[in-house]
Structure 1
């Protein structure tokens, strides 16, 4: 039988590069009772055939931080462990064949500077000088990252494994995890078997690092881990005379990447329509899939034209191997929402080697401290909705996600596959009136409305897209008249029980000891004062509250409450699908509501921040007087069975008021003018609530709530940064997010979000500016500019909302 301990602090399932990284980093933090179980041999799933590209730049600052850490780690592993990793700082070049791709990569270059990554925009001739073998016909620009690299995937994993073993970790091959012992929301033991016997390891934690088996291992552990294996193709040429070390080359417009490897050339592809693969054979180990030259041939034809030396080089290897993909091309990391001691690190979407070092470090720190070391919302497994584990959904979505790695990453780009799964009660009504749908967390949401004669679909661009004027009109309607939009996708969580008030006063920063019908805008804080959730809480009765959350974070926010429930006597229930919600916003919102309901909507009866039950048409509803667009307005909550009637009632009556149907893009353009924060962009778990400018929502005199000490400490010691609102003085450039902020000519940060302010007449953004030891006046005394694709554009700055700073319009 395998020589395995009967008890361990953690059992890691899976011996690919990420499992080895988690073991390595836990051991560095002093964990000794570590057991890693690998069903076959280390690296035998997908790690062994990875291309080994190691890039630094990712889509957000923290993902870039993790990628940079991986690169730095791999540069030192060989010295630490004696295992050659093949790591080389060879640099990388990405070239653009279209003007839109050039704008994308140049915007990425600006973002790289904001994230501290060395980068250089280069011309076609400079590309040629750095990569002599490339045919630059059609190349319009490129970016060069000198510190990117490449390495040997298997040896990187084996080096990590050796480093873990040196610190006492037990790593066993040919031992399969077959089941678990479960007690409520915890796994107390992992069952295993090998060729000679079986047993059980008692444990405090389990980590699912099972790669393309992650979904099935997740089911065994009682968790949802949406993953689908896809075929991934590359070729390796015969040796090419005179070929020396070259930068990694990416030509995304031709779906191709190139890597020099020991005098040979590796050509890989991320084709637009991929091939899902499965089920995985039981004996799969260091295996490859059947060749499909017809599928790869279009990539190869373009590559021979782009890299003429390939025409003379023989093909040594045609490789087809599986890689696992997630529904959104971001990997899965963190504490599984369904269990309290099951962790996940899986689904690395063909970037596992460059991600594994940082991901292992972050997860180890999270496990050790019991809290995220920094914001990991991009990859937190709690972003996955329960339905996303559906096999049919995963199969359909994966046909697209592989190709999206090299697709044009246009702003507002929507997924095309696996659509129509979650529909609000108003879905067909909105489509009948020209709604152009987007998708978020599976929800179909009206993003904008096409005009008569206009094709109701996106035409993507980095410039003003085809819906720009539509959104401007919707924006104007909300500012000057009345608009209606569907908010049904926002999460609705009931918190009820005899301790509901006391529980919310502990878990949230606001004061929930309020009259029935009162609405409290609030945050749930962590012990560092960071923002775990940004919600509204409405008191429905003496013992019941409704917590309304962003659609994407409903599950995470509910899990946060569940894990902090302690001994409070409360029941926490997701009721999102039970009610449709229509937002009526604008100066004439009250008049429209008065036309369809006998209720009193005046300030005396229904002031801002209160809710009331009403009759509407021939049905019933509950209206919440709140706003995310900065205007007079109500959110109308109606049970799903009466939703169609209420929509028709409001829409028909709205004809007399010039009611405009609006979408989510309008909501974003209005909220950016008002300076309202967007959770996940402007505020995250590592952004202190006071530095985010949300101290007004925290009741510091409450005796006990999560984060209280951190709030009081920050109040005492002062702010290190401030959230600032910006507006470009030039009305033409557009802002999205991550554009660098320059203060008096010096790079000081980047925009956390951006959109166009149609009322104020320019692109706007929010971003943090360092301010340690400075007053608000000091911050505003500087001159500011935003780097838009390498051009510094002057910007106005404000610490108060540039639109209606006293919020008089919402209270009229």
Structure 2
């Protein structure tokens, strides 16, 4: 009989490195009654065959913080548990074989400095000095991270498991979870059976954590939650022993899709090839345990051929092992962490995209803290599972997308790069109209969105580069149309959530920072705050009737924002419904927006009848619509909401009316370049759950005279102390360099932060960035009375800094 309790505080499903890390960190925080169940043997899924590369630098500051934590943890685990982790800081080198890749790795090096990671750009000869076996014939440059390392994946997991046991956790192997019992939005327990079938039982629990790796999708469905991931084949070879080969740095040659690791006098060569091979479309075999997949030497041969040229000693070394093992990949190459939106006590840590070893320590720590406090310890938006859309659990979608996501790990990470696979799932009502007019689409949360419009005869595709891309001038023309005349763009993908019921006003006043006790038709720009005053959502709320509001959210955060409201509904008598697909939305923006609308509708669009921040029902052509007078581009304008059945007619009516006015169709790139000139915040970049609303310069949107609302105390406290940092807008004094995000900010020659967003300001004539500067006990004047520079690819560029919008600081243009 398996010696298992019949009740636990938490059941962790999956005994790979991630599950062991979650158990370890929960016990470190004093949790009792922690049970970890592994279907076969610990590490027998993916962990055992991982390459064990442990890098510090990730794409964002918080992901880097977690990776650095993993390193520090693994360095100390052996002393704590007595289990050797094989962890050693051997350093890592990434080399560029093209000028484009050189810019990418140099920008990454600049970003590393902003994140506090030790890094050095090195020349080809310096690369050779650190990796003598490398053919540097066409190497352009390299980046050296001396504190990167490598470790023994299985032993790291076993050390974490031992540490968890020492902390009181029960870790049981050969116990498979066969069913998860649920009641409403909560799980109540798990049914289990032993591997030999001789014993079975039920554990009642307060919550579960899905750490099932490749099985995460299947376990998620048992729990009633969506965990989009798919297994792919991952190849590497290990050579025979090479005489005289000593410890070498980890080497990455992304232009050849390859990485190299020295281990015990042998070389491990692994690949992230551009066209991956998804595996187990019909499910993972129940018997899978430490299994290898069939060899496919033809698939790996191009990687090996390039590698023998790059590291010539490989051509002389015999192959000891040709390995093919499965690993799970998510639709966007970021792992899944956090509280699943569909249930209120199902946590997830899965889908680690070949970086499970370097991520597991930090992910386990962050999740354990989140589970303990009930709030994220810091912004985890990059990996929060609530970013995943329900349709992304579709198996056909996952199969198609996973072919691409494995290879994207080593592909050029160009700005604005679009996914090529699994496209066309979600289309707005205006899709075919926009396509006919030359739209070039990008994808966000599955939505096909017109990002820019090609000219007649121009290729309708992205041509990627770190310089000005092929659509730069197209977007500039769209930008000028909105600033100088009138433009129209599709905003249908933005989330629309209807909140209605007798308690709708009271509920909105509790969940949001604004004042929603307003007349029907009034639009309130507002934030949802957490207890610390951090920003959980950035939305506009329109009062439709006495008992109904429309909450408009960014497309990517609709599910997260709706879930936030649902979880704070309490005893309020309201119904919260996603109505995104029910209405199409066309934004009409620019100095001549009123003139265009007056041609298409008999409604009164004057300031007297329809002032800024109000909505009205209108006739449009032969149909009906609702006109919201708001703007995200800093110009006079309206967002026209029309039911999906009349959307085509609405587009044709407005398009025809604008033909003699020079109406221009515009895309999302234009919207972003205009909003950054105006200093409007971008949720997920400029404002996140760890950015205090006062520091973000949005204190004006919080009405503290209201009765209790979420975050009120934190806002009052920060208004007393003053901001601890300020969100500044920066304009480069040199019009040539481009900004994207994460470029370091220097204040009087010292690194003080990094840009959270960047784009080109076509009206202002230079790249514009936004970023936080620490300012505890400093006035606004003190902050501005400094010299600022932005580090662009290792070059410091002078920048003008401003707290007020650089474009139309008094917002006079939006209210004419």
**Given the two structures, how large is their TM-score scaled by the length of structure 1?**
1.00
From 656, 664, 667, give the equivalent of 2:660. Answer: 656
Equivalent runs, 1:224-303 vs 2, <5 Å: 224-278=226-280, 279-303=283-307
Alpha-carbon distance between aligned partners in 1 of 2:395 and 2:183, rounded to the nearest angstrom: 27
Please name the residue that 1:7 is paired with. Answer: 7
| Deviation (angstroms), 1:717 | 1.6
Alpha-carbon distance between aligned partners in 1 of 2:741 and 2:585, rounded to the nearest angstrom: 28
Q: Does 1:697 align with 2:701?
A: yes
Please name the residue that 1:498 is paired with. Answer: 502
Please name the residue that 1:170 is paired with. Answer: 170
| Deviation (angstroms), 1:209 | 0.2
Alpha-carbon distance between aligned partners in 2 of 1:301 and 1:440, rounded to the nearest angstrom: 37
Please name the residue that 1:646 is paired with. Answer: 650
| Deviation (angstroms), 1:718 | 1.9
- Structure 1 residue matching 2:517: 3-state secondary structure: coil
Q: In the TM superposition, what whole-angstrom CA distance separates every residue of 1:225-251 from its partner, at most 9, and x where no partner exists?
A: 001000000000000000000000000
Equivalent runs, 1:607-686 vs 2, <5 Å: 607-686=611-690
Please name the residue that 1:328 is paired with. Answer: 332
- Structure 1 residue matching 2:704: 3-state secondary structure: coil
Q: Does 1:21 align with 2:21?
A: yes
Q: In the TM superposition, what whole-angstrom CA distance separates every residue of 1:67-119 from its partner, at most 9, and x where no partner exists?
A: 00001100000000000000000000000000000000000000000000000
Please name the residue that 2:719 is paired with. Answer: 715
| Deviation (angstroms), 1:281 | 0.8
| Deviation (angstroms), 1:9 | 0.5
Alpha-carbon distance between aligned partners in 1 of 2:679 and 2:588, rounded to the nearest angstrom: 20
- Structure 2 residue matching 1:582: 3-state secondary structure: strand
| Deviation (angstroms), 1:22 | 0.1
From 593, 599, 604, give the equivalent of 2:597. Answer: 593
From 729, 733, 753, give the equivalent of 1:729. Answer: 733
Q: In the TM superposition, what whole-angstrom CA distance separates every residue of 1:415-453 from its partner, at most 9, and x where no partner exists?
A: 000000000000000000000000000000000000111
Please name the residue that 1:42 is paired with. Answer: 42
- Structure 2 residue matching 1:655: 3-state secondary structure: coil
Equivalent runs, 1:484-563 vs 2, <5 Å: 484-563=488-567
Please name the residue that 2:82 is paired with. Answer: 82
- Structure 2 residue matching 1:540: 3-state secondary structure: strand
| Deviation (angstroms), 1:389 | 0.3
| Deviation (angstroms), 1:280 | 1.0
| Deviation (angstroms), 1:716 | 1.1
| Deviation (angstroms), 1:457 | 0.6
- Structure 2 residue matching 1:572: 3-state secondary structure: strand
From 317, 323, 341, give the equivalent of 1:337. Answer: 341
Q: In the TM superposition, what whole-angstrom CA distance separates every residue of 1:264-301 from its partner, at most 9, and x where no partner exists?
A: 00000000000000031110000000000000000000
From 185, 199, 202, give the equivalent of 1:200. Answer: 202
Please name the residue that 1:305 is paired with. Answer: 309
Please name the residue that 1:96 is paired with. Answer: 96
Q: Does 1:483 align with 2:476?
A: no
- Structure 1 residue matching 2:569: 3-state secondary structure: coil
Q: Does 1:119 align with 2:119?
A: yes
Alpha-carbon distance between aligned partners in 2 of 1:200 and 1:212, rounded to the nearest angstrom: 24
Alpha-carbon distance between aligned partners in 1 of 2:646 and 2:167, rounded to the nearest angstrom: 63
CA RMSD of aligned residues (A): 0.4
| Deviation (angstroms), 1:329 | 0.2
Alpha-carbon distance between aligned partners in 1 of 2:810 and 2:646, rounded to the nearest angstrom: 37
Q: In the TM superposition, what whole-angstrom CA distance separates every residue of 1:521-540 from its partner, at most 9, and x where no partner exists?
A: 00000000000000000000
Please name the residue that 1:463 is paired with. Answer: 467
Q: In the TM superposition, what whole-angstrom CA distance separates every residue of 1:523-558 from its partner, at most 9, and x where no partner exists?
A: 000000000000000000000000000000000000
Alpha-carbon distance between aligned partners in 2 of 1:419 and 1:370, rounded to the nearest angstrom: 36
Please name the residue that 2:371 is paired with. Answer: 367
| Deviation (angstroms), 1:724 | 0.3
- Structure 1 residue matching 2:797: 3-state secondary structure: strand
| Deviation (angstroms), 1:570 | 0.1
Alpha-carbon distance between aligned partners in 2 of 1:364 and 1:142, rounded to the nearest angstrom: 37
- Structure 1 residue matching 2:458: 3-state secondary structure: coil
Q: In the TM superposition, what whole-angstrom CA distance separates every residue of 1:771-792 from its partner, at most 9, and x where no partner exists?
A: 0110000000001000000000
- Structure 1 residue matching 2:77: 3-state secondary structure: helix
Please name the residue that 1:811 is paired with. Answer: 815
Q: In the TM superposition, what whole-angstrom CA distance separates every residue of 1:283-334 from its partner, at most 9, and x where no partner exists?
A: 0000000000000000000000000000110000000000000000000000
Alpha-carbon distance between aligned partners in 1 of 2:618 and 2:722, rounded to the nearest angstrom: 46
| Deviation (angstroms), 1:25 | 0.2
Alpha-carbon distance between aligned partners in 1 of 2:768 and 2:719, rounded to the nearest angstrom: 29
| Deviation (angstroms), 1:137 | 1.1
Please name the residue that 1:57 is paired with. Answer: 57
Alpha-carbon distance between aligned partners in 2 of 1:180 and 1:662, rounded to the nearest angstrom: 48
Q: Does 1:346 align with 2:350?
A: yes
| Deviation (angstroms), 1:32 | 1.5
Please name the residue that 1:757 is paired with. Answer: 761
| Deviation (angstroms), 1:172 | 0.2
From 567, 570, 578, give the equivalent of 2:571. Answer: 567
Alpha-carbon distance between aligned partners in 2 of 1:111 and 1:91, rounded to the nearest angstrom: 18
Alpha-carbon distance between aligned partners in 1 of 2:161 and 2:640, rounded to the nearest angstrom: 56
From 385, 389, 398, give the equivalent of 1:385. Answer: 389
- Structure 2 residue matching 1:701: 3-state secondary structure: coil
Alpha-carbon distance between aligned partners in 2 of 1:701 and 1:245, rounded to the nearest angstrom: 64
From 451, 474, 477, give the equivalent of 1:473. Answer: 477
- Structure 1 residue matching 2:545: 3-state secondary structure: coil
Alpha-carbon distance between aligned partners in 2 of 1:731 and 1:700, rounded to the nearest angstrom: 42
Q: In the TM superposition, what whole-angstrom CA distance separates every residue of 1:715-768 from its partner, at most 9, and x where no partner exists?
A: 112211000000000000000000000000000000000000000000000000
Alpha-carbon distance between aligned partners in 1 of 2:180 and 2:468, rounded to the nearest angstrom: 54
Q: In the TM superposition, what whole-angstrom CA distance separates every residue of 1:457-502 from its partner, at most 9, and x where no partner exists?
A: 1000000000000000000000000000000000000000000000
Please name the residue that 1:190 is paired with. Answer: 190
| Deviation (angstroms), 1:392 | 0.2
Q: In the TM superposition, what whole-angstrom CA distance separates every residue of 1:318-361 from its partner, at most 9, and x where no partner exists?
A: 00000000000000000000000000000000000000000000
Alpha-carbon distance between aligned partners in 2 of 1:338 and 1:357, rounded to the nearest angstrom: 26
| Deviation (angstroms), 1:656 | 1.3
Q: In the TM superposition, what whole-angstrom CA distance separates every residue of 1:617-659 from its partner, at most 9, and x where no partner exists?
A: 0000001000000000000000000000000010011101100
Alpha-carbon distance between aligned partners in 1 of 2:184 and 2:456, rounded to the nearest angstrom: 56
Alpha-carbon distance between aligned partners in 2 of 1:119 and 1:600, rounded to the nearest angstrom: 60
Please name the residue that 2:588 is paired with. Answer: 584
Q: Does 1:180 align with 2:184?
A: no
Please name the residue that 2:215 is paired with. Answer: 213
Where does the alignment leave 5 or more consecutive residues of structure 2 unmatched?
none
Q: In the TM superposition, what whole-angstrom CA distance separates every residue of 1:392-430 from its partner, at most 9, and x where no partner exists?
A: 000000000000000000000000000000000000000
Q: In the TM superposition, what whole-angstrom CA distance separates every residue of 1:597-618 from its partner, at most 9, and x where no partner exists?
A: 0000000000000000000000
**Given the two structures, how large is their TM-score scaled by the length of structure 2?**
0.99
Please name the residue that 1:156 is paired with. Answer: 156
Alpha-carbon distance between aligned partners in 2 of 1:322 and 1:537, rounded to the nearest angstrom: 46
Q: Does 1:771 align with 2:771?
A: no
When the two structures are aligned, how many residues end up with a matched partner? 812
Please name the residue that 1:801 is paired with. Answer: 805
Alpha-carbon distance between aligned partners in 2 of 1:623 and 1:322, rounded to the nearest angstrom: 52
Q: Does 1:429 align with 2:433?
A: yes
| Deviation (angstroms), 1:180 | 1.7
Please name the residue that 2:144 is paired with. Answer: 144
- Structure 1 residue matching 2:660: 3-state secondary structure: helix
Alpha-carbon distance between aligned partners in 2 of 1:302 and 1:528, rounded to the nearest angstrom: 52
| Deviation (angstroms), 1:183 | 1.0
